[in-house]
Structure 1
């Protein structure tokens, strides 16, 4: 990622058109997020790029150079990072009516992202990397899932164990909100068992509050909407297996030095 100054905005050319912008972004994303590129394929990448264009337009961001940065942020913090209460540094900047133009808005967003990466991600993203490894090691069969579901304090302690720096940054009020939202989302998607609630809460913490419907994570919505799975516990178990595959692949890319981003 590079900072985009107003004098550089013509670099990709506003007259290129969205189709050419998509072409350029697909090539860029193959190198920037190879893990996602493998999962999504070019068709899925284009779907996510269009999703980003539509969401960025709400905030008056239409310049191709700035759109590129917005799409990059989606792959770093979730496709719906702009409305995510657990990415609290992003939304207020995007929605601030006092920011006069899109270049200023995105440069402020860039500054906020750098602060977050340095402070919460850690030196060379060491905190975020360790959090991903911690999350990969979680096995539900070894977890006191029912206890976590029943006790907010134990659930928050489990999140702290995974990513203490981010939990300290969010604070207890937002963590409690996350736990409530996780339960609501699990019920809405018919995985309202103890395991389903804990799993979906963890996914929202790690992959963004819109994980259940995020086009960047199509395997999540596919599992949650599979009409062949009738039992909530079976649905949760299938989602857990697919989540583990996703995390294993993420750590594999990390170990091979292929990943440019670590979500959250």
Structure 2
């Protein structure tokens, strides 16, 4: 459950920053046990440290808003503040910045609560179902003519996660896919399959997933697959993504 925190007036510098970091690692472990299981304590500490820095850049240094910011990273990806899927985050984080932190955090909390009601569903049922459909989608042949890939992927994503596609809208969805296609081409993807894969990962894990500390396996697999021939990274990343999804889904309660 997304929280702001009752200790809203305490700044995370008091108690010392290190103690707060350790506290947040434990909090995020309870907030998302499957993700913590895949990351481990040391990597989650990296996530916390980078997230605290990002929160500070947006003017948050109270314990409650910072904790909320860290939770948002786990829900939407570490780069949620610039993700084309969620333009309202950018708006809420960059407007009325002179308002009190708790007031700003409250507006974000309200918007996220409404988003999760419509997109995640009760007990995250929509999300769990979508993750399973994404796994099925990733195991299918994904070859599209270059001129049609954005439109075809938008159609597929709407089928995989209709609640999310309807909420974020066609423009945001196509912007995200176009970013994924461009990122894959920048990595010299040899086919549309690599472009589709990168777009799927961004849709599932956020547009910054290729260097997100929450998903180090993505960056590591791309790096290792670029040598000695760039054509290898999509194949390796696809296998790794399927394995990762199966592992995480295996730790989730089964839902219809």
**TM-score by structure 1 length?**
0.88
Q: What is aligned with 1:59?
A: 58
Give the distance between the partners of 1:78 and 1:175, measured in 2 at CA: 16
Match of 1:247 in 2: 245
Structure 2 stretches lacking a partner, 5+ long:
none
Q: Show the counterpart of 1:103.
A: 102
Structure 1 residues 253 and 232 mapped into 2: Cα distance closer, same or farther (>3 Å)? same
Larger mean CA deviation between 215-224 and 143-152 belongs to 143-152
| 1:126 counterpart residue number | 125
Which residue matches 1:82? Answer: 81
The separation in 2 between residues aligned to 1:3 and 1:24, in whole angstroms, is 15
Is the 2:21–2:45 contact (alpha carbons within 8 Å) kept by the matching residues of 1?
yes
Provide the rounded CA distance (Å) in 2 between the counterparts of 1:185 and 1:251.
27
Residue 115 of structure 2: aligned partner: 116
Match of 2:157 in 1: 159
> Which deviates more, 61-70 or 214-223?
61-70
Per-residue CA distance 1:43-63 (angstroms, 9 max, x = gap)? 111110011011111111011
Which residue does the alignment assign to 1:204?
202
Deviations, residues 93-138 of structure 1 (Å, cap 9, x unaligned): 1111355121111111110110001012223322222111101122
Gaps of 5+ in 1: 258-264
Q: Which runs of 4+ in 1 moved over 4 A?
A: 10-14
| Distance in 2 between residues matched to 1:175 and 1:13, nearest whole Å | 36
Task: Say what the alpha-carbon RMSD is for the aligned residues.
Answer: 2.2
Aligned to 1:261: none
Q: Is the Cα contact below 8 Å between 2:83 and 2:207 reproduced in 1?
A: yes
Shift, 1:147, TM fit: 4.4
Matched residue, 1:195? 193
What are the Cα deviations for residues 14-72 of structure 1, in whole angstroms up to 9, with x where unaligned? 51121000111121122222222222221111110011011111111011222111101
Once the two structures are superposed, what CA deviation does each residue of 1:127-177 show, in whole Å capped at 9, x if it has no partner? 22211110112244x324234873433221111111011111222222221
Deviation readout 1:227-260 (Å, 9 max, x if unpaired): 7633333210100111111111221121279xxx
- What's the secondary structure of 2:169's corresponding residue? helix
Is contact 2:10–2:62 with CA below 8 Å preserved after alignment? no
Mapped to 2, the partners of 1:228 and 1:15 lie a distance apart of 45
Query: In 2, are the aligned partners of 1:146 and 1:194 still within 8 Å (CA)?
Result: yes
Q: How many equivalent pairs are there?
A: 255
TM-score between both structures, scaled by the size of structure 2: 0.91
Q: Hey, what does 1:182 align to over in structure 2?
A: 180
Q: CA deviation at 1:179?
A: 2.1
8 Å CA contact 1:37, 1:45 repeated in 2: yes
